[in-house]
């Protein structure tokens, strides 16, 4: 999903008082140093994996070769491997040499229908069919780095089974960007097919790289971190007429234009934005066949982004009310359909408190930033609905780059710096070990 720019706010780190002066000593413990050394040792392999994946992207629910690539790696590490989950998902299970809890680590695998224009030796040349047309395919959101980082963490952790007090479940998930029309997929399908319950998962953790946050930085937000997203369609039905005599019909195009303006007034004038952010956007409008025919109907497709459940309900109601009343005022009819979508990605405050010292110890106190929630969406939210979870944002921008000029996600010139992945490998590894160790001490 689209990831907006993160900026480092002038805000005190969440719970820094609980960390105190022990953080520096904590970071120097043997397990942390072992993780750092191991991540440095396999950094070249992680970069190689990422380059392979970047050059060979696959669309949602079509990650066949990516799944094979991941599954082969996990089998070589001696993990229990399950394939075909939610079509192409791969699950690896690593049982430690000591009993204990269960944590899931997740990476998403799918690319996007975007033609890459970045001049890289491993740039994608892949093509695929998407909605009936041939399109370029690109890892334009960094999912290739997520897969490579989790493969690296799996390799390190498989060599440290004596330290693992419990079980680590590696979730390599397809279709985070959304299943093709008429299909199911993604995290919700992984959950339905037992990715959490079958292994007794108690907590889940995920990372998303960000092309506009410098390498070495980590951003986080307790509670609602990313927005719920819902696709909606409004069909405006009128009465066809000749363009020279609009009074002989009912014009759905002008009604649709007024509806679009009315939808923006919901946000601008009817929504309490001091409570949480919200967005309504129309991304497509279609109607008519030629310049001198007023058509029978117009269809609009858009997205709703919300960070509060009650606000979401109210906005849904106002969209229905606004569209139908504006259409009726011109004699037209509006039919509104709001689809189920991703819920709010919620970072459980208790597990955030528990794991934030690990994040700070791994990245360094000056590199961990508390940020505001954003209106991008993530289907990791479906795991967070089931078990306490933490979702972090990892810097992937060259620190020498001007942040204002860094390319955004889902664009053909998207790029992230390979150097950012080493910290991601360490975060996956240390969070898994610390969560299980903390669980064993309780």
pLDDT, tens digit only, all 442 positions of the chain: 544 444 444 344 444 434 444 444 444 478 999 999 999 999 999 999 999 999 999 999 999 999 999 999 999 999 999 999 999 999 999 999 999 999 999 999 999 999 999 999 999 999 999 989 999 999 999 999 999 999 999 999 999 999 999 999 999 999 999 999 899 999 999 999 999 999 999 999 999 999 999 999 999 999 999 999 999 999 999 999 999 999 999 999 999 999 999 999 999 999 999 999 999 999 999 999 999 999 999 999 999 999 998 999 999 999 999 999 999 999 999 999 999 999 999 999 999 999 999 999 999 999 999 999 999 999 999 999 999 999 999 999 999 999 999 999 999 999 999 999 999 999 999 999 999 999 998 8
Query: How high is the pLDDT of residue 29?
Result: 79
**Count of CB atoms within 10 A of residue 104's CB?**
26
Tell me if residue 319 falls in helix, strand or coil. helix
In which region does residue 236 sit, left (phi positive, over 0), alpha (psi from -120 to 50) or beta (all else)?
A: beta
Q: What span, in angstroms and rounded, lies between the C-alpha atoms of 328 and 326?
A: 5
Tell me if residue 369 falls in helix, strand or coil. strand
36-68 burial code (b ≥16 CB/10 A, e <16): bebbeebbeebbebbbbbbbbbbbbbbbeebbe
Q: Mention every residue, 6+ apart, whose C-beta is less than 8 A from residue 5.
A: 212, 213, 403, 406, 408
Query: How high is the pLDDT of residue 442?
Result: 81
Q: Mention every residue, 6+ apart, whose C-beta is less than 8 A from residue 248.
A: 241, 242
Query: How high is the pLDDT of residue 30?
Result: 83
Q: Mention every residue, 6+ apart, whose C-beta is less than 8 A from residue 93.
A: 79, 80, 81, 82, 167, 168, 169, 170, 199
User: Among positive and negative, which fits the CA dihedral 178, 184, 186, 191?
Assistant: positive
Distances (CA, A) of 145 to 49, 128, 150, 340, 351: 9, 21, 9, 29, 25
Q: What span, in angstroms and rounded, lies between the C-alpha atoms of 365 and 263?
A: 43
Query: How high is the pLDDT of residue 1?
Result: 53
Q: What span, in angstroms and rounded, lies between the C-alpha atoms of 168 and 152?
A: 14
Residues 151, 46 contacting (CB under 8 angstroms): yes
Residue count (the chain): 442
DSSP for 374-425 reads BS---TTHHHHHHS-EEEEEEEEE-TTS-GGGSPPTTSTT----GGGHHHHH
**Beta strand pairing status for 133-136 and 333-338?**
unpaired
**Cα 173–177–182 angle (5° rounding)?**
95
Q: What span, in angstroms and rounded, lies between the C-alpha atoms of 3 and 226?
A: 10
Q: What span, in angstroms and rounded, lies between the C-alpha atoms of 88 and 142?
A: 19
* Range list of β-strands (E), 18-63: none
Note the pTM of the prediction, 2 decimals: 0.89
Q: Work out the angle between the directed axes of helices 252-270 and 309-329 (0-180°, nearest 10).
A: 150
Q: What span, in angstroms and rounded, lies between the C-alpha atoms of 21 and 55?
A: 45
Residues 422, 43 contacting (CB under 8 angstroms): yes
Q: What span, in angstroms and rounded, lies between the C-alpha atoms of 129 and 184?
A: 18
Query: How high is the pLDDT of residue 276?
Result: 93
Q: What span, in angstroms and rounded, lies between the C-alpha atoms of 5 and 268?
A: 22
**Beta strand pairing status for 165-173 and 98-108?**
parallel
CA atoms within 13 A on the CB side of 173: 33
Q: What domains can be seen in the chain, in order of their start residue?
A: 16-226+344-441 (3.40.630.10), 228-338 (3.30.70.360)
Closest CA to 36 of 424, 432, 436: 424
């Amino acid at each position: 999903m689209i990831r907006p720019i993160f900026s480092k706010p002038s805000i005190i780190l969440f719970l820094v008082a609980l960390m105190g002066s022990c953080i520096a000593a904590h970071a120097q413990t043997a397990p942390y140093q072992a993780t750092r050394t191991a991540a440095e040792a396999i950094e070249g392999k992680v970069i190689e994996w990422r380059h392979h994946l970047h050059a060979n992207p696959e669309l949602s629910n079509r990650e066949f070769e990516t799944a094979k690539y991941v599954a082969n790696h996990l089998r070589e590490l001696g993990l229990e491997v399950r394939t075909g989950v939610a079509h192409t998902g791969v699950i690896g299970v690593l049982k430690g040499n000591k009993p204990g809890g269960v944590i899931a680590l997740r990476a998403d695998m799918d690319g996007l229908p975007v033609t890459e224009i970045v001049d890289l030796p491993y740039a994608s040349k892949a093509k695929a069919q998407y909605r009936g047309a041939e399109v370029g395919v690109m890892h334009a959101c960094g999912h290739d780095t997520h897969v490579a980082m989790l493969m690296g963490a799996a390799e390190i952790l498989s060599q440290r089974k004596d330290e693992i007090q419990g079980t680590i479940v590696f979730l390599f998930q397809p279709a985070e960007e959304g299943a093709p029309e008429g299909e199911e997929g993604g995290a919700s399908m992984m959950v339905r097919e037992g990715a959490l319950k079958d292994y007794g998962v108690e907590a889940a953790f995920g990372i998303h790289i960000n092309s506009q946050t410098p390498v070495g930085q980590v951003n986080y937000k307790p509670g609602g971190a990313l927005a719920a997203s819902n696709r909606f369609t409004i069909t405006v039905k009128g009465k066809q007429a000749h363009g020279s005599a609009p009074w002989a019909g009912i014009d759905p195009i002008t009604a649709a234009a007024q509806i679009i303006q009315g939808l923006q007034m919901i946000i601008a004038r009817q929504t309490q934005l001091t409570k949480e952010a919200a967005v309504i956007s129309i991304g497509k409008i279609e109607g008519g066949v030629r310049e001198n025919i007023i058509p029978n109907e117009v269809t609009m497709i858009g997205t709703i982004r919300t960070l509060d459940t009650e606000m979401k309900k109210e906005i849904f109601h106002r969209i229905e009310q606004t569209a139908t009343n504006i259409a009726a005022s011109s004699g037209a009819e509006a039919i509104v359909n709001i689809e189920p979508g991703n819920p709010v990605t919620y970072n459980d405050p208790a597990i955030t408190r528990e794991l934030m010292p690990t994040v700070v110890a791994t990245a360094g106190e000056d590199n961990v930033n508390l940020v505001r929630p954003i209106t991008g969406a993530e289907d990791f939210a479906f795991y967070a609905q089931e078990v306490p979870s933490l979702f972090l944002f990892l810097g992937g921008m060259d620190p020498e780059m001007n942040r204002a000029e860094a390319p955004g996600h889902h664009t053909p010139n998207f790029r992230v710096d390979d150097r950012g992945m080493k910290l991601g490998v360490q975060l996956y590894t240390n969070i898994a070990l610390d969560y299980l160790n903390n669980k064993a001490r309780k």
